[in-house]
């Protein structure tokens, strides 16, 4: 649907019925038959008794889309299976979901019309439910709350009409709404409701759930958008990578993803296929620009130019990652390609000398235990290169809680981690983390602040993309951090699995997937 980007919303109503009539059932899924895979027991649209087993490398901690884990990839994935949102992302645009259509009579007003859809218990999905859910997110303290700073009111105009007004134009409205799960209004604040078998309107309903252990789901055969291709979806958490991949090889699971680089060769077996696509995840090494010597852009650039990034990424990540060319992944809306920093240790030494550090200096880099695959080898590689220009680096691996406390208190010199963009929109990363007000790495640039403010408020997506590209350039040129790589979404799939499309957000749509 190339005619559906947000740029057209102000002039055209978006009709969900027309959309589904155009694309036909299951058109959003890409079958992997071109990879030599055969049809499984569960045909698309026929649940039968087919059971699909899929293992992510991250645990489902919580089923509450209004809780503190509501931007965790595993929680977002579970929420999309159990609940529905008003709209869903499709490339750089959005598809209708619970909303049949939407319009924008003026820059600060959005009107959404709901279809006749029911929750799993038969109760209708109403505008009051949408109002309660959006307000809970906007008024809460979870990471999603920051996306709703411009929200003014949410009104249930009637049972099937929701009117959302903002204090200023909000170009991320549809992006934000794609994250908001719709549940019964009286259950939004009920933690016990989400603890075991919450009721949604999504393609699956919960059979059993134990945090950090498993989530078992049964297909909703009369799901309004078409029955899932499998009758049951089981999502076991298998923490050890080697055990998880062994489970794939033996047939204990049909699909697994986020395959570590050192396990790719082990996947080269008959009956298995490895499929990759760009993801919303990147790695970065932030500098604390409020601390000397990283308050000097010359020092930050020197640290980047001292590293042979292409070699490090190739050696440690192989075919599971690509060298980054922006502070956000290339699959994210608003990405603007930049020229890589050259590997030039001589120039790095000269920059340090120009900054009054000809003899080098001592510093540290911290990261959280288990924060990302290959994070320690990456830190060790960086430190080795930095030693060649006279910089001595202490490596600090911390427990998650201690790391987070120090990160937020700016009690660090350098921080190494990876992160996922939850919405697929540059605002989620750049607008949340790189402003003066955010103060996440001690960096402040009034010009960047203004660009990011304008980009968030515009509803013209082409202009937003131009502004984010400029923001990417500023962050890159100022070397706010080192951005070495973007991760590929890498899936291991058993022969016979069909309908799986690798998802850039690591939240695959399992509705069209039939098991081996």
User: Mind listing the pLDDT tens digit for each residue in 333-342?
Assistant: 999 999 999 9
41: in domain: yes
95: in domain: yes
Q: What is the pLDDT of residues 433-452, one digit of tens each?
A: 999 999 999 999 999 999 99
Domain match, 194 and 285 both: no
Angle of helix 375-387 relative to helix 309-317, nearest 10 degrees, comes to: 150
Weakest mean pLDDT among 296-300, 359-363, 369-373: 369-373
Position 459 scores a pLDDT of 87
Domain match, 319 and 431 both: yes
pLDDT band of 261, cuts 50, 70, 90? confident
Q: What are phi and psi of 218, to 5 degrees?
A: -105, 140
Mean pLDDT of 341-366: 98
Position 91 scores a pLDDT of 78
Collect all residues with Cβ–Cβ distance below 8 Å to 453 and sequence separation of at least 6.
none
Domain match, 394 and 316 both: yes
pLDDT band of 413, cuts 50, 70, 90? very high
512: in domain: no
Position 146 scores a pLDDT of 86
Position 93 scores a pLDDT of 85
pLDDT band of 249, cuts 50, 70, 90? very high
Average pLDDT of the chain to the nearest whole number: 89
- Our count of domains for the chain comes to 2
Mean pLDDT of 179-206: 95
Taking phi over 0 as left and psi of -120 to 50 as alpha, with beta for the rest, 499 belongs to left
Domain match, 364 and 232 both: no
CB 100 within 8 A of CB 12: no
Domain match, 60 and 170 both: yes
Position 49 scores a pLDDT of 67
pLDDT band of 143, cuts 50, 70, 90? confident
Position 362 scores a pLDDT of 98
401, pLDDT greater than 70:
yes
227: in domain: yes
- pLDDT above 70 as % of the chain: 91
Domain match, 173 and 310 both: no
pLDDT band of 353, cuts 50, 70, 90? very high
Mean pLDDT of 135-152: 93
Separation between Cα atoms, residue 457 and residue 449, nearest integer Å: 12
pLDDT band of 45, cuts 50, 70, 90? very low
Q: What is the pLDDT of residues 52-106, one digit of tens each?
A: 999 999 899 999 999 998 889 899 999 999 999 999 988 778 999 999 999 999 9
Q: Give the CATH number, domain containing residue 283.
A: 3.10.105.10
Position 31 scores a pLDDT of 30
Of 175, 172, 280, 331, nearest to 505 by C-alpha is 280
Separation between Cα atoms, residue 145 and residue 148, nearest integer Å: 6
Tally Cβ neighbours within 10 Å of residue 111. Answer: 18
Mean pLDDT of 8-19: 33
Domain match, 341 and 447 both: yes
Q: Give the CATH number, domain containing residue 174.
A: 3.40.190.10
Residue of higher predicted confidence among 37 and 317: 317
Position 395 scores a pLDDT of 98
76: in domain: yes
Mean pLDDT of 191-202: 93
Q: What is the pLDDT of residues 272-297, one digit of tens each?
A: 999 999 999 999 999 999 999 999 99
CA angle 319, 39, 77 (to 5 degrees): 55
33, pLDDT greater than 50:
no
Q: Which domain holds residue 299?
A: 279-487
CB 487 within 8 A of CB 283: yes
- pLDDT above 90 as % of the chain: 82
Domain match, 335 and 213 both: no
Residue that terminates a domain, selected from 204, 236, 268: 236
12, pLDDT greater than 50:
no
Domain match, 290 and 400 both: yes
Domain match, 324 and 220 both: no
Domain match, 307 and 217 both: no
Position 47 scores a pLDDT of 40
Collect all residues with Cβ–Cβ distance below 8 Å to 231 and sequence separation of at least 6.
42, 47, 48, 49, 50, 51, 218, 219, 221
CA angle 235, 241, 242 (to 5 degrees): 115
CB 142 within 8 A of CB 67: yes
Buried b (16+ CB within 10 A) or exposed e, 423-458: bbbbbbbbbbbbbeebebbbbebeebbebbebbbbb
Pairing of strands 255-257, 51-55: parallel
Q: What is the pLDDT of residues 105-131, one digit of tens each?
A: 999 999 999 999 999 999 999 999 999
Domain match, 72 and 166 both: yes
374, pLDDT greater than 80:
yes
46: in domain: yes
Position 85 scores a pLDDT of 98
Of 419, 440, 417, 343, nearest to 386 by C-alpha is 343
Collect all residues with Cβ–Cβ distance below 8 Å to 466 and sequence separation of at least 6.
none
391: in domain: yes
Position 10 scores a pLDDT of 32
507: in domain: no
């Amino acid at each position: 649907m190339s005619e559906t980007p947000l740029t057209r919303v102000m002039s055209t109503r978006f009709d969900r019925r027309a959309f589904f009539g155009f694309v036909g059932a299951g058109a959003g899924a890409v079958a992997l038959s071109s990879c030599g895979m055969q049809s499984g027991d569960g045909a698309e649209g026929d649940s039968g008794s087919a059971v699909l087993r899929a293992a992510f490398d991250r645990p489902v901690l919580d089923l509450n889309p209004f809780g503190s884990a509501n931007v965790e990839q595993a929680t977002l994935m579970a929420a999309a299976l159990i609940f529905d949102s008003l709209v869903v992302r499709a490339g750089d645009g959005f598809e209708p979901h619970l909303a049949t259509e939407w319009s924008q009579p003026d820059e600060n007003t959005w009107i959404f019309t709901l279809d006749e859809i029911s929750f799993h218990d038969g109760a209708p999905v109403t505008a009051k439910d949408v109002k309660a859910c959006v307000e809970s997110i906007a008024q809460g303290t979870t990471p999603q709350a920051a996306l709703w700073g411009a929200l003014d009111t949410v009104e249930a105009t009637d049972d099937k009409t929701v009117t959302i007004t903002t204090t200023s134009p909000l170009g991320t409205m549809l992006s934000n709404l794609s994250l908001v799960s719709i549940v019964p209004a009286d259950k939004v604040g009920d933690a016990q409701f989400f603890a075991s078998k919450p009721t949604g309107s999504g393609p699956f309903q919960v059979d059993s759930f134990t945090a950090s252990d498993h989530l078992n789901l049964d297909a909703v055969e009369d799901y309004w958008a078409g029955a899932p291709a499998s009758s049951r979806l089981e999502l076991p958490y298998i923490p050890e990578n080697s055990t998880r991949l062994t489970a794939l090889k033996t047939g204990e699971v049909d699909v697994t993803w986020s395959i570590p680089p050192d396990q790719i060769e082990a996947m080269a077996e008959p009956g298995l296929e490895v499929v990759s696509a760009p993801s919303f995840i990147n790695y970065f090494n932030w500098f604390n620009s409020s601390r000397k010597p990283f308050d000097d852009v010359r020092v930050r650039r020197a640290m980047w130019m001292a590293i042979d990034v292409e070699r490090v990424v190739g050696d440690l990540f192989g075919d599971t990652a690509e060298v980054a060319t922006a502070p956000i992944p290339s699959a994210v809306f608003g990405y603007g390609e930049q020229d890589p920093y050259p590997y030039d240790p001589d120039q790095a030494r000269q920059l340090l000398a120009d900054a009054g550090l000809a003899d080098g200096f001592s510093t540290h880099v911290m990261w959280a235990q288990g924060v990302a695959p290959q994070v320690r080898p990456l830190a060790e590689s960086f430190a080795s290169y930095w030693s060649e220009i006279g910089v001595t680096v202490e490596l600090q691996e911390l427990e998650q809680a201690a790391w987070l406390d120090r990160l937020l208190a700016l009690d660090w010199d350098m921080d190494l981690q990876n992160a996922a963009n939850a919405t697929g929109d540059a605002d989620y990363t750049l607008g949340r983390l790189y402003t003066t007000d955010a103060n996440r790495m001690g960096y402040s640039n009034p010009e960047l602040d203004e660009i990011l403010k304008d980009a968030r408020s515009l509803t013209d997506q082409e202009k937003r993309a131009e502004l984010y590209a400029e923001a990417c350039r500023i962050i890159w040129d100022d070397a706010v951090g080192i951005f070495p790589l973007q991760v590929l979404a890498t899936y291991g799939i058993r022969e016979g699995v069909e309908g799986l499309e690798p998802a850039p957000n690591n939240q695959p749509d399992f509705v069209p997937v039939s098991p081996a």
